[in-house]
A and B are shown apart, each in its own frame.
Chain A
């Protein structure tokens, strides 16, 4: 008996939210979350790829020979990444420039490949769609949260607006690499704390 669709969707928002529960795809999480805008942009791009590749792989799951399945998944994913890459270049050029190499690198994002292997290859189209959408939105929320933490304290702004006033001395290290690790650790710890309470 398959689980209802809304459960497949909702699990991506808390139970299996990447990268906190599903600790995958850490590279873009750490690299691009200097600001909220970057985080949301990266999250939405990944969501698009995740949903499309989940659906297509689910449709083709009985045609793909098991021995070469990873190569086939990568091919499908790469197709959609190319699409999103070109779309962003055409319509959101400043963001595209900021995210740089990390857009093409969605191809090797473990969240996308992981959902293809663990879910889409074993389930029918609709649950795969719900799964991709849930995990994708969860990923976007996580990136936005981490981006907000780092932008607010590391730069004193949120979405470009100053929040602490001009007297605030930013903790510049938060927008650099160590801040990404410490921020991720703090959010992960908070999530564990909340889960324990329940």
Chain B
């Protein structure tokens, strides 16, 4: 087959004729979706055309074009991630300044809750993750993590779930709903068995099981506790006035006690109830957030 017989590449102005640098004010997600689809289609068409006459050459051409296309996506991904990180950091600074000012005016500490609404940031991040094309390596890794979430070693399952969730958050992982549901289910079981009810609640939310999340949310509050090293002794620094009957809740208290003994701090969930925390009374209410130094 001579050069003149080969299919010639079609030169197009742009994936979307309305897209011209300097003329378009807003690049919509539809623009990007359609551009990506056009790129994928064109590569596939070229491959098919060339492949009719020479498979080897077609494979080489596809591999070269795929690599260029992935590179384009990668650069865009990195830029968008950097923008999100900068915005997150700016919002954190705004929040800290606002809270500091408010505490000064009111003369009291206001806890560690999130003040500023981060919905615009989250929706942009979610959109970015949704758009990310599949990365077969990441999908394979995610599947591997799911397979390793079997058995009864909750610590190991918890670690695998965290790795799985991190991959899922970054995008590029394409799995069936059944696999994702199984992973969340195992992650929830692990968090419950390890006494990390705050994590369990988040995992219920990630799984879309809002009833489960709400149910757990009603039984816990979120605390940030700190004790000075001199306060940590053989005695329990955190004592519930009444130990709950539910083993999962008891486990949660044990985890908090162990963390305070070992590290002098604990940040996470604590069952609703009254506690003696280094001689002070800590009243944990459902959905409440508390910051206390013992």
- Report whether chain A binds chain B: no
